[in-house]
Structure 1
Amino acid sequence: MTKKALLIFLMLAASFFLAGEKAKADDINPNQINWLDQNVSGWAVTSTVTGVRITSSEICIFHTKAGQWPTSPYGSITIEGNPWIFAQINGQWYGATFDWLRVGQECKGETATTLGKDQIKKPPMDASWIPQTGDPIAVMMSTRARDNVDAGQERSNIFLTTWTYDSSGGGGGGGGGGGGGGGGGQIPPVSTIPQILGATPNVAKPGQEINIIGVNLGSRIFLTSTSGGPSHELTASLNSVNTNAIITLPDNIRPGSYNVTVFGEGNTQDTLPALIIVAQEPIAAPPIP
């Protein structure tokens, strides 16, 4: 192989490798979300959320494509897209954009008390919705989706986390007289108590994998029969942010209804009722010759 051919081969291989990098999967099924703005669930997932920071004065959603998405004019400024927030309200997930993103921007000056009242303003994510510390939420970034202007159809994965700053921690703005100390209350400790949001599937057979979805999940899982049958202690495989815990049902588990208990730090726990185990279909006997 000539040097030129080798160089072309290496360039093609590198481009193939880079093209093969995939963003992370959604932590919440987009089909289970009530979209208050455009339903962007079908948009290409081209970016990965790498972290979230919530303080008394801003929300930051860090992702791998900041500054790289298509831009468009919005009044006198150039924008790249919109940040999204998702909340579980009365047992259902709702999602909406809450501001505009300048090129490369990842932080917005919003708080628990301004998100619904001043930005989203759509029931049930209106002034009546004020997230509290420990509430499960999810976030996402997308290209322009807050109006009907088409400026590319790309988004990040939906990233599950918890709200870490109480609404009493201040509404942003000028915290009166704040000399050197940055007034406005102390940030409460982040909750480490596990919260189960669901399991897929919730009807399964022995030997089948179950994906438990939540926040602050631990790897120690108990399945307790609601009819007094034997319990099972299992070890789950966790993702890096403890929002997905995958277990494999034992082959000897009896059919019936089970409560799923996940243990977290300091023996804290949360329980999901009514996981249904159905019997395996019997293996057909071979035909008699």
Structure 2
Amino acid sequence: MMKAILIDDEELALNYLEHQLLNIGDFQIVGKFTDPMIGKREIEKNEIDIVFLDIQTPKLNGIELAEQLLEVKPQLQIVFVTAYERYAIKAFELNALDYVLKPVGKQRLQNTMKRIQSMMEEHTTFSLQKSENLQMSLFQQVTIVDGGQEILLRWRTAKVQQLFLYLVQHRGAVVNKTAIIELLWPELEPEKAYHQLYTAIYHIRKTLAPFSKHFQISNTSEGYKVRLEKTILDVDQFERFFRSDLSLSAETIGEYEQAIALCKGDY
């Protein structure tokens, strides 16, 4: 049974959603909140599996709230709820996030749960880590290798992958939000661009959830920072070798060949 918290500024909508979830029978409703900040504190201090979150919440936008929650609880499942289909489609192009429309139907919730359970099973499989250190390839195709097993990360959109790689490129440093928007969504109005940014960060966190102890994304008022833990990058190995200034000789040619073999394609 999944432990759920519901957040919506309308009490009637909360009660109706609770009624529908209890009819499905797979939920324990831990709390209902009209104030998103109170709901956020409850989620952070309790073991919660899933949050049903209204997109248009007062004090804090629902997408921003989700992004903050996933920073501290990357395994958390979030379903967005909205009364406006047109708003949802505009805000989440290419069906980037899962959302349900009000009034929430029982069959729609059951379909949502099937998808979430499938995602959780997939993440559980990934989480069976075989080695202490991850190896990550940035040359040619971006892959993660865990104990000899190659894992190809599946990104929701190309922009999400681009943002992740841009943050990895600047690992350890804060990347300004405005700079990201100018790079990836220069054609959008500021409000829509920030929606896209929060959506992309959300999906990066969800994609990396099985490897959350290796990839840590922190959010500051200015931007985002990626920190890698126990992760070996091929580009770092390649750069360290050539910075070592090892002289080329018959004895060291093998080391040069190994270093060159790391870069099998474009960075």
Please confirm whether the aligned pair reaches a TM-score higher than 0.5, indicating the same fold. Answer: no
**Structure with greater strand percent:** 1
Q: Higher RCO, 1 or 2 (CA under 8 Å, sep at least 6)?
A: 2
TM-score by length of 1: 0.26
TM-score by length of 2: 0.27
**Structure with greater helix percent:** 2
